[in-house]
Amino acid sequence: MKSFESSRQRRASEGNAGTVNAFTLTELLVTISIMGILAAILIPAISGMKERGLRVACASNIRALVTATLQEAAFQGGEYPDLHHSGLNYPYWFDADNVDSFKLAQGLDEDTFYSPSNEEWNAETFWDYSSGARVGGFLYLANDNNWAASAVIHGDSNDGTLPLFAKRVVDESVYQHLWVDLTRELSSGWGAGVNHQESGEPTGFHAGFRDGHVEWVPWDESEDRSVQVGGVRMWF
């Protein structure tokens, strides 16, 4: 009799343990809901942290280019390096020989000319676009090699008494920019020509200046200032 009672009690105990440890459908649904809420909170936060890190790296690249440009100007009697392609009127198109010499003299590498936030733009097809031209990932606005003569400036007035951008360190100019993040609108669309964007829209850009400093310009504070060459509009 004792053996029978012990066996029955053991089975009852095992049955109760199974009931305690099992998840009900309601508990599973609540757990899944909580996981979904946490994912909705954490994924944007993680993405935001990644973009902030990329911005820091991007600003570092622009700062390196600004420093190299100022150093090169010191070596060249105060004239900013002539990097633009003479036949292509966009400030992110470079003469291959000139930019290669600049890169070598200043100890830069190809990645320095691109934003890490825009991996699609940093491709061999851009840097090795042709034997005479390289397409960079930033706007170079000094020593404009006459491209600004065919450009339309939006957002600011200029009476024409000063050049838009400086050719030499001692020059006065309307704008003090040297290097700026690529924020390009082509045929009324952004596409890959924007270094920093979210949901297809620009979030802002870095600007590097003649005094050596680099700053982040939020998109809603950009004052709609841009340079347009043909159907290509670029913000700075």
Tokens for 123, please give them.
């491709």
Q: Which of 202, 140, 176, 181 is nearest to 58 (CA)?
A: 181
Q: What is the C-alpha to C-alpha distance for residues 74 and 168, in angstroms, rounded to an integer? A: 10
128 pLDDT higher than 70: yes
Global confidence as pTM: 0.79
pLDDT in tens, 187-214: 778 988 999 998 889 999 999 999 999 9
Handedness of CA 10, 11, 15, 21 (dihedral sign): positive
Percentage with pLDDT > 90 across the chain? 52
- In sequence order, what are the residues at sequence separation of 6 or more whose Cβ sits closer than 8 angstroms to the Cβ of residue 200? 190
Alpha-carbon separation of residue 196 from 34, 87, 169, 187, 204 (angstroms): 32, 28, 29, 19, 6
Write down the pLDDT at residue 7.
53
Write down the pLDDT at residue 64.
97
Q: Is 115 in contact with 61 (CB distance < 8 Å)?
A: yes
Confidence of residue 1 (pLDDT cuts 50, 70, 90): very low
Q: What is the C-alpha to C-alpha distance for residues 59 and 68, in angstroms, rounded to an integer? A: 14
The residue ranges of every structural domain in the chain are: 59-235
Average pLDDT, rounded, for the chain: 85
pLDDT in tens, 7-52: 545 555 555 544 456 768 777 777 777 777 766 665 665 556 566 7
56 pLDDT higher than 80: yes
